[in-house]
Amino acid sequence: MNRKSFFIRSLSAASSSPSASRTLASTRGSWRTVAGRVAVCAALAAGAGQAPAALLVYDPFNQAPGNITGTASTGGGAVWPGAGTWNGGGTVSAGSLSYATLQTAGNQANYDAVANANRAIGATLGGANTDIWVSFLIAANRDDSGISLFTGGTEQNFMGNGQGSVQTLGLQSPNINTGIAQSTTTNFYVLRMQTGATGNITSTLYVDPPAASLGVGSAPTAGSLYTNSASPDTTRLPYAFDTVRLGGFNSAGTVRFDELRIGTTWADVSPTTAVPEPSTAGLLAAAAALLARRRRA
């Protein structure tokens, strides 16, 4: 087998996905030219890094700085099932919070005074037989500050710094206390809610997971894991939710929120800044080598 036929077969193997096959078929007529070969490689490389998104909600808070009430993120990948705005108090401040390689955009929600804002999702999420993931960035050095999920006017849980005797980062209803003290440090908070047909809600909380685990197919199994799986909350029936509320309810201290995501997998809610995949880099390198060899000839 000569080098040219081997190279073509390698490309055929790399294009086994339906999208890549369509790309190769549409450019087959250009394969005889060097420029055409490079174009095919580039098209396949672009397709190699694409993955279907399954985000149910994403808010980068990319509206203009100022009062958050009556505003909404637009563009920038923002996802809300229904049209709507944040209603209540708080402000949007310039710049994003950050954590490791987590993908960020837009600005941040700021609560230096006692205030809260809610937004209708525009759909009902969760409930029996569901697996829901919620993530966000939080920097809060005061108690009783966080994000809640509501069903209508009923608060179903509270994610953030507790109040009273539990003033550390965690979850209330069901209850998980991480022991992580409140501070101005940005924490990456991820909650998984696995709900069966009846009875128990199994909640797993990840705070500041290893950077290498972000965006991959499975969540970390140690190092940032807090769970009630050993004794799930049996006092609550599975619930669905349709509203999100964020805020600070104690006047002492500050709280910042950013990068709110709701999805159905760990990878959905922990995306990383895009980098070329090995397959992408390999295809581009092959195209460059082919072009250089042709020029030398």
**Most confident of the ranges 20-24, 58-62, 171-175:** 58-62
- 31 and 176 together in one domain: no
CATH of residue 210's domain is 2.60.120
- Check pLDDT > 70 for residue 159: yes
State the pLDDT confidence band at 237, using cuts at 50, 70 and 90. Answer: confident
Q: What residues make up the domain containing 20?
A: 3-49+276-296
* 11 and 124 both lie in a single domain: no
Tell me: pLDDT of 4 over 50.
no
pLDDT the model gives residue 222: 82
**Residue 101 to residue 293: CA distance in whole angstroms:** 37
Q: Left, alpha or beta for 55 (phi > 0: left; psi -120 to 50: alpha)? A: beta
Say whether pLDDT at 23 is over 50: no
Q: Is 270 exposed, middle or buried (0-12, 13-18, 19+ CB in 10 A)?
A: buried
First to last CA, the chain: 21
pLDDT band at 277 (very low <50, low <70, confident <90, very high): very low
Instruction: Fill in the amino acid letter for 125.
Output: L
Segment of 8-17, 34-43, 48-57, 205-214 carrying the highest mean pLDDT: 205-214
Alpha-carbon gap, residue 73 to 206, rounded angstroms: 26
Beta bridge partners of 151: 154
Residues 66, 173: one domain? yes
**Can you tell me the mean pLDDT for 95-100?**
96
Task: Give the whole-angstrom CA distance, residue 284 versus residue 14.
Answer: 12
Q: Do 193 and 280 fall within a single domain?
A: no
On the question of pLDDT at 172 being above 90, the answer is: no
Please check whether residue 100 is in contact with residue 273, taking contact to mean a CB–CB distance below 8 angstroms. no
User: Strand 154-161's sheet: what is its strand order?
Assistant: 87-88, 115-126, 240-248, 145-151, 154-161, 168-172, 176-181
**Residues 251, 113: Cα–Cα separation, whole Å:** 6
The pLDDT tens digits of the residues spanning 184-199 come to 899 999 999 998 887 7
pLDDT in the model for residue 166: 57
pLDDT computed for residue 69 by the predictor: 96
Q: Are residues 77 and 203 in the same domain?
A: yes
pLDDT band at 177; cut points 50, 70, 90: confident
User: Do residues 84 and 22 both lie within one domain?
Assistant: no
Band the pLDDT of 141: cuts 50, 70, 90.
confident
- Total residue length of the chain: 297
Confidence grade of residue 43 (pLDDT, cut at 50, 70, 90): very low
Residues 260 and 190 in one domain: yes
Residues 21 and 93 in one domain: no
| 231 to 168, 225, 263: CA distances (angstroms) | 21, 15, 25
Interior angle at CA 80, CA 219 and CA 107, nearest 5: 80
Q: What is the pLDDT of residue 165?
A: 53
The pTM of the full predicted model, rounded to 2 decimals, is 0.75
With beta carbons less than 8 A apart as the criterion, state whether 189 and 169 touch.
Answer: yes
Question: Is residue 63 a contact partner of residue 73, using CB atoms and an 8 Å limit?
Answer: yes
Look up residue 257 and give its two tokens. 């929120």
CA 176 from chain centre, in angstroms, equals 22
Asked if residue 32 and residue 116 are part of one domain, the reply reads: no
Residue 277 tokens, joined: 């995949």
Both tokens of 217, joined, read 């197919």
**Spatial CB neighbours of 38, under 8 Å, sequence gap ≥ 6:** 287, 290, 291
Tokens representing 112 are: 């230096």
